[in-house]
Chains A and B, each alone.
Chain A
Amino acid sequence: MQRVAVVVFPGSNCDADTLDAARAAGSDAYYVWHKDTDLQRADAVILPGGFSYGDYLRSGAIARFSPVLRAVTAHARAGGAVLGICNGFQILCEAGLLPGALMRNARLKFLSRPVRLRVEATDTPFTASYERGEELTLPIAHGDGRYVADSQTAAELEANGQVVLRYVTENPNGSLHDIAGVCNAGRNVVGIMPHPERRNAQVLGGQDGARVFLSLEARNATQHVGDLRAVDGRHLRV
Chain B
Amino acid sequence: MSAGAYTVEIRVMPRASLLDPQGQAVHHALQALGFGDVAGVRAGKHLVVQVQAATREEAAAKARSMCDRLLANPVTEDYECSVSP
Contact = CB atoms under 8 A, between A and B. Distances in A.
A108 B25 contact: yes
A154 B66 CA distance: 27
A105 B25 CA distance: 12
Contacts of B14: 103
B71 A148 contact: no
A174 interface: yes
A148 B14 CA distance: 12
B73 A101 contact: yes
Interface stretch (B1-9, B16-24, B33-41, B53-61): B16-24
A149 B70 CA distance: 18
Range, interface on chain B: 10 to 19
A138 to B, nearest CB: 24
B76 interface: yes
B73 A58 contact: yes
Given A57-B70, A57-B71, A65-B70, A148 B76 contact: yes
Contacts of B75: 93, 100-101, 148-150
Interface in A29-74: 57-58, 61-62, 65
A107 interface: yes
B21 A107 contact: yes
B22 A148 contact: no
A94 B73 CA distance: 8
A104 interface: yes
A108 B22 CA distance: 7
Nearest to A106: B21
A149 to B, nearest CB: 7
Contact of A104 (B22, B70, B73): B22
A5 B50 CA distance: 38
7 contacts: A57-B70, A93-B75, A100-B75, A103-B14, A103-B19, A107-B21, A148-B76
List the 10 shortest-distance A-B pairs measured between CB atoms, nearest first: A101-B75, A101-B76, A108-B21, A101-B73, A106-B21, A104-B21, A103-B76, A58-B73, A108-B25, A148-B76
